[in-house]
Amino acid sequence: MNDDHAAVQAAMAAAAQATGGMLYPELAAQSDESVVKEGRRLDHAEGTSHPIRPPSEPQPRGARVRGNRRVSQSEAANRFIAATQHEKMHDERLWDLRQKRDRVMHRIPEWEELRSLASAIKEHTLTHLDEYLDQFEANARSNGIHVHWARDGAEHNRIVHNILRDRGATSLIKSKSMLTEECGFRDYMASVGVKVIETDLGERIQQLDNEDPSHVVVPAVHKLRTDVAQVFAKTLGTDPGNSDVHYLAEAQREATRPLILKADAGMTGANFVVAETGTFVVCTNEGNADLSANVPQLHIASIGIEKIIPRLEHLAVFVRLLSRSALGSPMTQYTSHFRGPRAGGEMHVVLVDNGRSKRLGMEEFWTSLKCIRCGACMNTCPVYRRSGGLSYGATYSGPIGLIIDPTFNRHKYSALPFSSTLNGSCTNVCPVKINIHEQIAAWRKVMAENHELPLMKKSAMKAAGILLAHPTLYRAAIASADVALNVLPRFAIYNRLNAWGRHREVPHAPHQTFHSWYRKNRGTQ
Amino acid sequence: MHKEKAVRVGLFVPCYVDAFHPDVGIATLELLERFGIEVDYPFNQTCCGQPMTNSGCHAESAATEALLVKNFQDYDYVVAPSGSCVHHVRFNLDAIAQTDAVRKVRQSTFELVEFLHDVLKVEAFPWAEFPHRVAYHNNCNALRGLGHASMSERRVEAFSKPLDLLRKVRGIELVQLARPDECCGFGGTFSVFEEGVSSKMGHDKVRDQSQSGAEYVVSADSSCMMHQQGCAERAGMPMKYIHIAQVLNGASA
């Protein structure tokens, strides 16, 4: 054996080690994600019954809601952030929707004009709400629709229950509706013995998991598919280790479709209500609203009174904005117009106020009624993306939730307006130009004026206000930078300097303030 | 700026800059003086009132806002190296009665980049050289509030006043972030009251900066950078943070 040969052998051995024992790794079989156990490759049946990925972290749950007590969004957000797989998926998924929205926006040259039009139409309608609601009611009745009026969620639930009871209906299929969430509809129906089946896939997942929707458009977006596998395993009897999306979707379809086909009644919400035609429009991507509306003979639509628009031609403005803002798609897969019952069928509309009239009278907050529930403000919100929608502990989450939820219960949701950096992204993605971040700031003022701030915060701000209004006191307080380091963050954070330093280094203290530099170098004016 | 009448500029050095970033105040002063401007620094200045208003405590902010107006009402322009504080003065100085003096201060207060770009219309910074890879951080109040640059949310012609200025600096190489106008999570009092989300946003921001290959992060706001620097140091990332006033004034590193 000469030296060359030894050198070649050594090189080959080194290469083999570096490539995991194979000299030509490119010739190895591509991974088929097969599952190997105790050196034996499992056969197909065994393999698919075992998770191919390492077990996922448990799903973080939402805010702790206890009666009327103040909900702490940040407490729940911290738990969501600690669940790193969930937080990362959630942030990236929603940021992806935001980017898709940006891309389709750039394909519409008149985008900003559309936003202005949409905002103007909504403001006009809201300031003539009584007229347009009367017009809708008259036209809907002449189309053969039964029109009901509900002052609040409880009245809505009773009206729907009466309709069902009078017709002996005990099962109801429904499409997704944030209004019915406001009304606590499913709980009420369960209490009176009516079986409710959600037909939107995400909403169905949430119903089966006994959890509220975390987003107005994608209600289960906070769940990993492994979470869904757990829910379906418990409720539908699927394989808990199989989180294949097609498998799960098919299993749900198989389980739910028979319930849909034999349901006594169907319920939808509405995205838009047209006064001049007495009709309403439902936008979905799964076609599930059409099942809910058309399979049973009885169709009930629950509609918030702010959904109205004057004329059919106005619909074009909103339909162009809605799905582009929500998901970055040009239109929802289904845009269904309902104008009256089918032959032999019955159609009811329940127009619900539930706090909307009161909100309309709030000078700083009434324009929140322009909202078309696209969820764009949630997708763009950096706080929402890192917190999950359930951290808000309220029907509406994200930026729009911060300004709507306190109208339902000021004390309970008094901390929510502080779950924002006021960065203004929400206001600028909003397709109907709601000044969301300005309303968030305005709610903070309302909370402070109504003694809803925690005492520590209030007294810290009072102390800061005094210090900063008195130059001599202020200068004495920050005379040296070392002292400034203690005092300055403190005017914002009282004695919680550790709140800064938990995940960050504290700022370096310079040897002098600008003020003392100026005195030393530029004299005394 | 014309020669007929000497323009009086009052320098507003916000509290954070005064205490933690005196070099930013010095660079702002020197930079303005390079353009022949007489700059006054009123000694009795403290703060704009934003920390209190930001927390909803408008009543507690009133005396501070009144003091700001008292200090600066006699100047033609008030210039501050902070988009956030200028945003407060221009749009949210509402805790006090809107007298002529208050309105005057609100209208004449400019953030440094705006003042250089829109008022002085500066063509060149011959003294400035910064041969480094730089990621620019848009403070949200400056970006969406003051209109420093076009934002990704809107369908508008792309522009950026701070980048216009930085491109006049010799040797500078600007790098792009994956999420250029995502908030960094500072948010004033948000940074401590909502510490968990704030820090998470900060750490995501500095990871984006690190992956962009930036050696330096430059911004018109020291407060955001104080938060980001704290995150970067904790994460052991090597980026350095420097205010745009220092770069434009000829800081070498």
| pTM strictly above 0.80 | yes
Average pLDDT over residues A506-522: 87
Question: Inter-chain contact A465–B17, Cβ cutoff 8 Å?
Answer: no
Burial category of A11 from C-beta neighbours within 10 Å (exposed 0-12, middle 13-18, buried 19 and up):
exposed
Planar angle of CA B135, B139, B143, nearest 5 degrees? 105
Q: Pick B18's closest partner by Cβ from A445, A464, A513.
A: A513
How many residues are recorded in chain A?
525
pLDDT of res. A24 = 44
Q: Which residues of B touch A102 (CB under 8 A)?
A: 152-153
Pairwise CA distance, residues A75 & B194, whole Å: 9
Instruction: Name the residue type at position A5.
Output: H
The Cα-based distances of B69 to A183, B44, B221 in angstroms read: 49, 11, 22
Pairwise CA distance, residues A58 & A77, whole Å: 15
Helix axis angle for A455-468 and A481-493, nearest 10°, is 130
Query: Would you call A75 helix, strand, or coil by DSSP?
Result: helix
pLDDT of res. A488 = 53
Pairwise CA distance, residues A236 & A219, whole Å: 19
Task: For residue B19, give the chain A residue with the closest CA.
Answer: A513
Helix axis angle for B22-34 and A514-522, nearest 10°, is 50
Burial category of B236 from C-beta neighbours within 10 Å (exposed 0-12, middle 13-18, buried 19 and up):
exposed
Min mean pLDDT across A116-125, A516-525, B233-242 is at A516-525
pLDDT of res. B225 = 96
Query: Is there a domain that residue A72 lies in?
Result: no
pLDDT tens per residue, range B105-137: 999 999 999 999 999 999 999 999 999 999 999
Pairwise CA distance, residues A447 & A410, whole Å: 8
Min mean pLDDT across A45-59, A361-375, B45-59 is at A45-59
Six-digit token pair at B176? 């792009």
State the smallest CA–CA distance between residue B195 and chain A in angstroms.
6
Q: Measuring CA to CA, which residue among A483, A470, A491 is closest to residue A512?
A: A483
Task: Kindly report the backbone phi and psi dihedral angles of residue B38, in degrees, each rounded to the nearest multiple of 5, phi listed first.
Answer: -85, 120
Average pLDDT over residues B21-41: 96
pLDDT of res. A435 = 98
Pairwise CA distance, residues B86 & B77, whole Å: 12
The DSSP bridge pattern shows strands B77-80 and B133-137 to be unpaired
Query: Is there a domain that residue A352 lies in?
Result: no
Q: Is the pLDDT of residue B1 over 70?
A: no
Query: Is there a domain that residue A494 lies in?
Result: yes
* Domain extent at residue A464: 456-521
Q: Measured between alpha carbons, how far apart are the two ends of chain B, in Å?
A: 31
State the smallest CA–CA distance between residue A237 and chain B in angstroms.
37
Taking the C-alpha atoms of B145, B220, B113 and B40 in order, what is their torsion angle to the nearest 10 degrees?
110
Q: Does the model's ipTM exceed the 0.90 cut?
A: yes
- Give start and end residues of each alpha helix (H) in B39-178: 50-54, 58-72, 83-92, 100-108, 112-114, 140, 161-166
Pairwise CA distance, residues A51 & A218, whole Å: 26
CB pairs A-B closer than 8 Å: 237
Question: Inter-chain contact B19–A478, Cβ cutoff 8 Å?
Answer: yes
Query: Is there a domain that residue A502 lies in?
Result: yes
Q: Pick B64's closest partner by Cβ from A418, A419, A468.
A: A468
Query: Would you call B79 helix, strand, or coil by DSSP?
Result: strand
In this prediction, residue A487 has a pLDDT band, given cuts at 50, 70 and 90, of low
Question: Inter-chain contact A81–B181, Cβ cutoff 8 Å?
Answer: no
Give chain A's domain count: 1
Average pLDDT over residues A266-272: 98
**Most A-contacting residue of B24, B52, B92, B239 (CB-CB within 10 A), to test interface:** B52
Question: Inter-chain contact A514–B13, Cβ cutoff 8 Å?
Answer: yes
pLDDT tens per residue, range A441-472: 999 999 999 999 988 888 888 888 988 999 98
What is the radius of gyration, based on Cα positions, of chain B? 18
Query: Is there a domain that residue A150 lies in?
Result: no
A506 against B98, higher pLDDT: B98
pLDDT of res. B205 = 98
The DSSP bridge pattern shows strands A265-268 and A146-150 to be unpaired
B236 touches chain A (CB under 8 A): no
Q: Measuring CA to CA, which residue among A423, A378, A415, A382 is closest to residue A396?
A: A378
Q: Measuring CA to CA, which residue among A436, A335, A462 is closest to residue A380?
A: A436
Question: Inter-chain contact A507–B234, Cβ cutoff 8 Å?
Answer: no
Pairwise CA distance, residues A341 & A140, whole Å: 11
The Cα-based distances of B168 to A175, A301, B123, B129 in angstroms read: 57, 61, 8, 9
Q: Measuring CA to CA, which residue among A170, A149, A215, A210 is closest to residue A385?
A: A215
B144 touches chain A (CB under 8 A): yes
B216 touches chain A (CB under 8 A): no
Task: For residue A480, give the chain B residue with the closest CA.
Answer: B19
Q: Is the pLDDT of residue A25 over 50?
A: no
Min mean pLDDT across A3-17, A342-356, A358-372, B210-224 is at A3-17
Q: Is the pLDDT of residue A1 over 50?
A: no
Contact B43, B181 (CB under 8 A): no
Query: Is there a domain that residue A11 lies in?
Result: no
Report the mean per-residue pLDDT for chain A: 89
CA B138 to the chain's CA centroid: 9
A217 against A489, higher pLDDT: A217
Question: Which single residue is written with the structure tokens 């002098």?
Answer: A512
Pairwise CA distance, residues A453 & B211, whole Å: 40
**Cross-strand pairs, A392:** none
Question: Inter-chain contact A514–B181, Cβ cutoff 8 Å?
Answer: no
Six-digit token pair at A116? 């202005």
pLDDT tens per residue, range A319-336: 999 999 999 999 999 999
Question: Which single residue is written with the structure tokens 């539908």?
Answer: A236
pLDDT tens per residue, range B154-170: 999 999 999 999 999 99
Q: Is the pLDDT of residue A486 over 90?
A: no
How many residues are recorded in chain B?
253
Question: Inter-chain contact A504–B57, Cβ cutoff 8 Å?
Answer: no
pLDDT tens per residue, range A222-251: 999 999 999 999 999 999 999 999 999 999
Query: Is there a domain that residue A508 lies in?
Result: yes
Q: Pick A504's closest partner by Cβ from B40, B144, B199.
A: B199
Instruction: Name the residue type at position B247.
Output: V
pLDDT of res. A27 = 47
Pairwise CA distance, residues A245 & A257, whole Å: 18
Report the mean per-residue pLDDT for chain B: 95
Burial category of B179 from C-beta neighbours within 10 Å (exposed 0-12, middle 13-18, buried 19 and up):
middle
**Cross-strand pairs, A267:** A174, A300
Q: Which residues of A touch B44 (CB under 8 A)?
A: 471
pLDDT of res. B19 = 87
Cβ neighbours of residue A480 under 8 Å, at least 6 residues apart?
none
Quickly list DSSP for A201-262: HHHHHHHHTT---SSSSSTTTTS-HHHHHHHHHHHT---TT---HHHHHHHHHHHHHHHHHT
Query: Is there a domain that residue A368 lies in?
Result: no
Q: Measured between alpha carbons, how far apart are the two ends of chain A, in Å?
A: 90
State the smallest CA–CA distance between residue A224 and chain B in angstroms.
20
CA A391 to the chain's CA centroid: 10
Cβ-based neighbour number of residue A72 at 10 Å: 17
State the smallest CA–CA distance between residue A128 and chain B in angstroms.
30
Pairwise CA distance, residues A175 & A299, whole Å: 11
Question: Inter-chain contact A471–B67, Cβ cutoff 8 Å?
Answer: yes
Taking the C-alpha atoms of A356, A360, A365 and A371 in order, what is their torsion angle to the nearest 10 degrees?
60
